[in-house]
Structure 1
Amino acid sequence: MVIINNYEEYESHLGKEIGVSQWHTIDQNQINRFADATLDHQWIHVNKEKAEREGPFKSTIAHGYLTLSLIPYLWKQIADVRNIKMEINYGIESFKFGQAVMVDNEVQLKAKLNSIINLRGVTKVVIEATLIIKDQPKPAYVGNVVFLYHFI
């Protein structure tokens, strides 16, 4: 895990990979809970028998937005940003889904610092987020997440 205490330490990672998270297994229970929370009960996510019989993946798959929602959790395993009053998930940009995440796949987030700017005391960073699927050649997605930090 990378520890970042201030703007200068963050900036030292510009253009570089910051790190990768631990592996996280997306199981059917997590998919079902996400379906309940978002009211998205499409059969490809929650009906194992129909997905195996009729689905293109022969398995249930995680919601794309479920995989995106893991970014804050996995990001905290990569970087510990300290000395802040507040951290804001400011936006997501240019995300492309490359491959479905099937039930019981393990995923890992890889993060690279694409840009950093000081906006009158607020640090805005753009992190390139790549969700890797274990033993798969293509990532689940690649895109940019934007965070705002108010350093003390």
Structure 2
Amino acid sequence: MAEAFNEITLPAEKAERYAAVSAEIASVLEGEPNRVARMATVASMLANSFPHYFWTGFYVVDETKGDELVVGPYQGTLGCMRIAFGRGVCGTAAATRQTQVVEDVHAFPGHIACDSRSASEIVVPVIDGRGELIAVFDVDSEQPAAFDAVDREWLERILGATFR
């Protein structure tokens, strides 16, 4: 795997790193049908590619409840166990099926503080080939405003290619 950046970089450099890790993820996952293995690999490879990623992982739709997320494969400190749709950043992304980019999590209405060190967050809905929401992909950073349009574009692209 390519060496991770030592700091947050310029948008063009960040896009180049996403392009490289995207190709690496596709190569590693080629032929792997297991969804949990795919999620674990994506979380690990992305977490180890960007130093501003403090917590990186999936909250999976609990099929028995339908309107609740349960923690899935992740890298980082202890995550919240369950999150209701519409609650916090992850629940909002699940309910709206729209990527949430939050510069200051403490200013987000109803933010759930799984770890008080998190300062900013991006959450991307994960949609399968049938158009069903299967999870959200959550990345937290200890740095305020750590995520931007480059992160959004590439995470949506990587997750779309991996799970559709």
TM norm. shorter chain > 0.5: no
Please tell me whether Structure 1 or Structure 2 has the larger radius of gyration of its CA atoms: 1
Bigger fraction of residues in strand: 1
Bigger fraction of residues in helix: 2
Q: Determine which structure has greater relative contact order: mean sequence separation of CA pairs < 8 Å that are 6+ residues apart, divided by chain length.
A: 1
